């Protein structure tokens, strides 16, 4: 297994074919998050990346100025087009933004057998922000996300604020934040009947640790040194995409998550410094030597 900050070691494929990972997410014009971060991650890890765009944004490291939501039927058509021709072996879902878009994505994924035991893996990063930039907490979009996409997820990757909002369990500020994370992970696991939950602990006080709660009910704490980086835009997108790549290569869920964390650590440690705000990671850190 790779050490933190090392390039994942299983990039070559014996049959010479590249598996396809489909990312379904919004576009970030600055390239730091969303579709752009996903595709950079996927390609850096030796996989072929395809995409279905849910929203187009005008944004940079200082913030978002314009958002244009893609019609649900166009999102669905993009997903169908990729599955009909390229047969992706893993799907990563990021910002969706509306209940209509969730319905469209769920229809398309079910039509192609994604998330089923013998179908392609689905990594769901529950970004709780609408295409307008507003919080989706308690909205029809979140209800649709939980009801339609959670059941298809192989892996759910909420950060602590997302885990709190989805589970209703307070974590930050509790005397034992890890115990609260475990309770939240158990609550979320009930919503992801076929998959695992990775509660990302970067927001927690003290040494950071992520909690991987498997579909079978076991829990594993994944600890790593905190990387002090002022430029961390797109970390959630990057981790979930990297995990999807590991699953696409046939790694176990635990190994896929460990290698995703290792890749993310390297991208943070590279110290890319672009823009005047919270800048992007260096997704190509290993390729630069």
pLDDT, tens only, 123-137: 999 987 555 555 655
pLDDT of residue 1: 47
Q: Give yes or no for residue 259 having a pLDDT over 80.
A: yes
State the CB neighbour count (10 A cutoff) for residue 123: 31
Residues in the chain: 289
Structure tokens at 243: 């995990």
Q: Give yes or no for residue 146 having a pLDDT over 90.
A: yes
pLDDT of residue 10: 45
Using alpha carbons only, give the angle 219, 148, 133 rounded to the nearest 5 degrees.
90
The single residue listed with the structure tokens 């699953």 is 247
Counting other chains too, the contacts that 281-284 makes at CB distance below 8 Å and 24 or more residues apart are 281/32, 281/37, 281/231, 281/232, 281/233, 281/234, 281/235, 281/238, 283/37, 283/40, 283/41, 283/44, 283/238, 284/40, 284/44
Q: Give yes or no for residue 72 having a pLDDT over 70.
A: yes
For the chain, give percent helix, strand, coil, nearest 5. Answer: 35, 20, 45
pLDDT, tens only, 210-256: 999 998 889 999 987 788 777 788 999 999 999 999 999 999 999 99
The alpha-helical segments, DSSP class H, found in the chain are: 34-44, 72-86, 99-111, 140-144, 160-167, 177-189, 235-248, 253-269
Are 184 and 210 spatial neighbours (Cβ–Cβ below 8 Å)? no
Question: Euclidean distance between the first and final Cα of the chain, in Å?
Answer: 20
Mean pLDDT in residue range 183-207: 88
> Domain coordinates of the chain in residue numbers?
20-269
Beta strand 121-124 pairing with 209-213 = unpaired
Mean pLDDT of the chain: 88
219 conformational bin, left if phi > 0, alpha if psi -120 to 50, beta if neither:
beta
Q: What is the CATH number of domain 20-269?
A: 3.40.1190.20
Dihedral of alpha carbons 45, 53, 91, 203, sign:
positive
pLDDT, tens only, 1-41: 455 555 554 445 556 679 999 999 999 999 999 999 999 99
Structure tokens at 33: 């998050």
Are 54 and 103 spatial neighbours (Cβ–Cβ below 8 Å)? no
Structure tokens at 223: 């600890």
pLDDT, tens only, 54-66: 999 998 888 888 8
What are residue 38's phi and psi, to 5 degrees? -60, -50
Sheet containing strand 90-93, edge to edge, reads 63-69, 48-60, 20-27, 90-93, 121-124, 155-156, 196-199, 209-213, 219-223
Mean pLDDT in residue range 66-90: 96
């Amino acid at each position: 297994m790779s050490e933190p900050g090392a390039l994942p070691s299983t990039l070559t494929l014996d049959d010479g074919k590249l598996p396809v990972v489909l990312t379904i997410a919004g576009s970030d014009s600055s390239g730091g998050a969303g579709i752009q971060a996903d595709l950079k991650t996927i390609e850096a890890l030796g996989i072929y990346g395809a995409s279905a765009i849910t929203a187009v944004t005008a944004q940079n490291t200082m913030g978002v100025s314009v958002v244009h939501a893609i019609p649900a039927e166009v999102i669905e058509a993009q997903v169908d087009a990729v599955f009909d021709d390229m047969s992706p072996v893993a799907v990563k879902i990021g910002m969706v933004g509306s209940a209509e878009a969730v319905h469209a994505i769920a229809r398309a994924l079910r039509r192609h057998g994604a998330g089923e035991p013998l179908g392609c893996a689905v990594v769901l990063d529950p970004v709780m922000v609408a295409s307008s930039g507003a919080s989706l907490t308690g909205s029809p979009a979140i209800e649709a996300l939980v009801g339609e996409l959670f059941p298809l997820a192989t892996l759910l990757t909420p950060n602590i604020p997302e885990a709190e909002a989805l589970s209703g369990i307070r974590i930050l500020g509790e005397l034992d934040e890890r115990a609260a994370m475990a309770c939240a992970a158990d609550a979320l696991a009930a919503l992801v009947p076929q998959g695992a939950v990775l509660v990302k602990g970067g927001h927690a006080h003290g040494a950071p640790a992520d909690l991987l709660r498997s579909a079978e009910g076991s829990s594993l704490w994944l600890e790593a040194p905190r990387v002090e980086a002022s430029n961390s835009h797109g970390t959630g997108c990057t981790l979930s995409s990297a995990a999807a790549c590991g699953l696409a290569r046939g790694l176990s869920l635990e190994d896929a998550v460990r290698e995703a964390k290792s890749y993310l650590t390297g991208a943070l440690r590279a110290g890319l410094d672009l823009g005047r705000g919270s800048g992007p990671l260096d997704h190509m850190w290993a390729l630069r030597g």
